[in-house]
Chain A
């Protein structure tokens, strides 16, 4: 049975990483107006690390969560509005409660791929409030398919209505994707989604493998606008899916118009696969670390690639950006 594929647009959230969380009101306004005509299932807005994440650690956002969400909500009539939430950064009282009052439809609660039980209360809260809750497993390459399934089952039990696994480091090979998505699709009662990063040029093909293995929600970003080497390029994906006769509800031409808009007004430089992105993928480190690594490497005059490799050795998780400076110092001493 061929299901409908829901395209979930993370341009204004993962893309935030690409511009160090400096999205402007006019950018959000323009983009959301345009994307609402395309038929994508939902669009996510916010700081790259989600609600309440604006901080020194991962970068301060130019716009508050409130302005980001309200600006987007204003323009969305046909598209659901989603947010990304990481317990440990955001809390129910300080952040989620307010976000729901601003009109968020979908809350995607994310944890590191082995720590799903920290999302119990947050998922429960969103469901209690009658909104849609998804469970997200970040850095999912760091867990075997079997462990991932256990964690996904936990989130499903807590009320997650879909489980999305993230290739936060952009390091998956197609077989890695197939093994995980297949196992999850076969054993969960809720739909499975996949979030690709393009560090090894596999964003689109990994997304296709995921779909063939049973995924029904695919994250993408216009022009790939996302952390590191960016996400699966959404308009390319839409075109491929159209060619393969999958139903996505997306008007391709309108989506291409949005891509042109992004090229003109949102991105300063095209998202490409930089050398550093390749190294971060090989090291298995979160793509969102790139800008911090680059800056600190320059400051301390060390090779950013060495920093990434060391981060990988230490198996750091998203949120451990504070280790970058520590590693840079140690590398500096060695030189």
Chain B
């Protein structure tokens, strides 16, 4: 699945023999974290005990849960679960869905999962005697709109809370602030992680992001439709990097720090389409419809994580796209 260097392994030493809880275990991030931890257990004898909390076990998880002793699945709603198993040392709080459609159709429940879910997680964490670190998965969207080429952890832009597009980012900002309050008052050890954009296996192509639409278009119709002018700049991290980074932030992240999670290699949507075309073949056509003037950029600056945690991007965009398309070709219905 991935090649880990000796340094990668030694960086994660602290996690050996510990019990780790992942809330929102059935999401994209959760799924990849589980895969990495299982890999570490199997290949490198990490002996991590993995607790997962999710409302439902998805297909991908089902196969792991029943067959493995090192995974304990707790089916519950993160807002309601009354207590966490006492042996938990690390928590990765990933419970919330960045599927914008749910935020549009069910805004109150969606916000509630983030706000009440985070509160309940913190309250339960307070009672864990062995707790060493909590990673709170926030979102790169909390930065709001910025005129920036790459967004550092201190760059804050505009967020119009009188718009339904604010529902997810505002809830996440509130969650970050709440989590900090627990750090401040109760000294909970917190690391804020702000994910940007990803592409890889197990992603649902129905989520309305350009790159997902391109891949789906190309596999269904061999014609990629770019709605705008192709100029917006994005970046995409492959999930093996994502999972490795998160575990590093968990093991070694500084208490109270915030880290961006993503690739800093900005690439225009036009270029993304071209790369996809190069992978799939010459029979693919690209249609640029020029229906809007959007030239926005959503690319993180990841120097802080590089410097402080010695992390870097292992899978670059061409490879990420290749691996992703190969997987989707096999698994897309």
CB–CB A128/B216 < 8 A: yes
A157 in contact with B104 (CB, 8 Å): yes
Cα(A130)–Cα(B221), bound, Å? 6
Given known pairs A157-B104, A189-B228, the reply for A4 and B290 (CB within 8 Å) is yes
Q: If the complex has contacts A154-B104, A158-B101, A161-B227, are A128 and B206 also in contact, measured as CB distance less than 8 A?
A: yes
Would you call B104 and A158 a contact (CB within 8 A)? Answer: yes
CB-based contact A154/B294 at 8 Å: no
A216 interface residue per 8 A CB criterion? yes
CB contacts under 8 Å to B, within A157-202, are 157-159, 161-162, 187-191
- Across the interface, do B105 and A120 meet the contact criterion of CB distance under 8 Å? yes
B-chain residues with CB within 8 Å of residue A156 when the two chains form the complex: 208
A130 B291 Cβ-Cβ under 8 A: no
**Do the beta carbons of A129 and B220 come within 8 Å of each other?**
yes
Complex: A191 Cα to B220 Cα, angstroms:
23
In the assembled complex, A312 has its CB within 8 A of some CB on chain B: no
Interface residues of A in 102-140 (CB under 8 A from B): 116-117, 120, 124, 127-130, 132
Chain B positions within 8 Å of A124 at CB level: 101, 206
Question: In the complex, how many angstroms separate the beta carbon of B227 from the nearest chain A beta carbon?
Answer: 6
Interface string of B195-215 (1 = CB under 8 A from A): 000000000001010000100
B1 CB within 8 Å of chain A: no
How far in angstroms is the closest Cβ of chain A from B213? Answer: 7
Task: Report the bound CA distance from A127 to B290 in whole Å.
Answer: 19
Decide if A153 is an interface residue (CB 8 Å cutoff). yes
Given that A1-B293, A189-B294 are contacting pairs, would A130 and B104 also be in contact in the complex, using a CB cutoff of 8 Å? Answer: no
Would you call B217 and A158 a contact (CB within 8 A)?
A: no
Shortest C-beta distance, B276 to chain A (Å), equals 14
Residue B100 lies at the interface, judged by CB distance under 8 Å to chain A = yes
In the complex, chain B residues 280-303 whose Cβ is within 8 Å of any chain A Cβ: 289-294
Q: Please give me the residue from chain A that is nearest to B103 by CB atom.
A: A157
Contact in complex: A162, B206 (CB < 8 Å): no
A150 within 8 A of B: yes
Q: Which residues of B contact A157 (CB under 8 A)?
A: 100-101, 103-104, 208
Q: Which of B163, B221, B291 interacts with A191 by CB under 8 Å?
A: B291
* Residues of B with C-beta under 8 A to A161: 225, 227
* B164 is an interface residue with CB less than 8 A from chain A: yes
Asked whether, in the complex, the Cβ of B293 is within 8 Å of the Cβ of A154, the reply is: no
Contact between B291 and A154 (Cβ–Cβ < 8 Å)?
Answer: no
Name the CB-closest residue of B to A1. B293
Q: List residues of chain A with CB within 8 A of the CB of B165.
A: 153
The residues of B that contact A153 with a CB separation of less than 8 Å are 104, 163-165
Rounded to whole Å, the gap between the CB of A40 and the closest CB of chain B is 16
> Given A120-B101, A127-B206, A157-B104, are A191 and B216 also a contact pair (CB < 8 Å)?
no
Does B164 lie within 8 Å of A150, measured CB to CB? yes
Cβ of A3 within 8 Å of any chain B Cβ, yes or no, is yes
- Residues of chain B contacted by A120 (CB below 8 angstroms): 101, 104-105
Closest CB of chain A to B288's CB: distance in Å? 12
Q: In the complex where A157-B208, A161-B227, A190-B291 touch, is A130 in contact with B105 (Cβ < 8 A)?
A: no
* A59 CA to B184 CA, complexed, in Å: 66
A117 and B105 contact, Cβ closer than 8 Å, known pairs A150-B164, A216-B291: yes
Find out whether the CB atom of A159 lies under 8 angstroms from the CB atom of B208. Answer: yes
User: Which of A130, A150, A162, A189 contacts B217 (CB under 8 A)?
Assistant: A130
Given A3-B291, A154-B164, A189-B292, check contact A127 B104 (CB 8 Å): no
Q: How far is the CB of A144 from chain B (nearest CB, A)?
A: 13
Taking beta carbons and an 8 Å cutoff, which residues of B are in contact with A? 100-101, 103-105, 163-165, 206, 208, 213, 216-217, 220-221, 225, 227-228, 289-294
21 A-B pairs (CB sep. < 8 Å): A1-B293, A3-B290, A3-B291, A4-B290, A117-B104, A124-B206, A127-B208, A130-B221, A153-B104, A153-B163, A153-B164, A157-B101, A159-B208, A159-B213, A188-B292, A189-B228, A189-B294, A190-B291, A191-B227, A191-B289, A191-B292
Question: Assuming A120-B104, A153-B104, A189-B228, what are 13 further A-B pairs, CB within 8 angstroms?
Answer: A4-B290, A120-B101, A127-B208, A150-B164, A154-B164, A157-B100, A157-B103, A187-B163, A188-B292, A189-B227, A189-B294, A191-B289, A191-B292
Which residues on A are within 8 Å of B, measured CB to CB?
Answer: 1, 3-4, 116-117, 120, 124, 127-130, 132, 149-150, 153-154, 156-159, 161-162, 187-191, 216
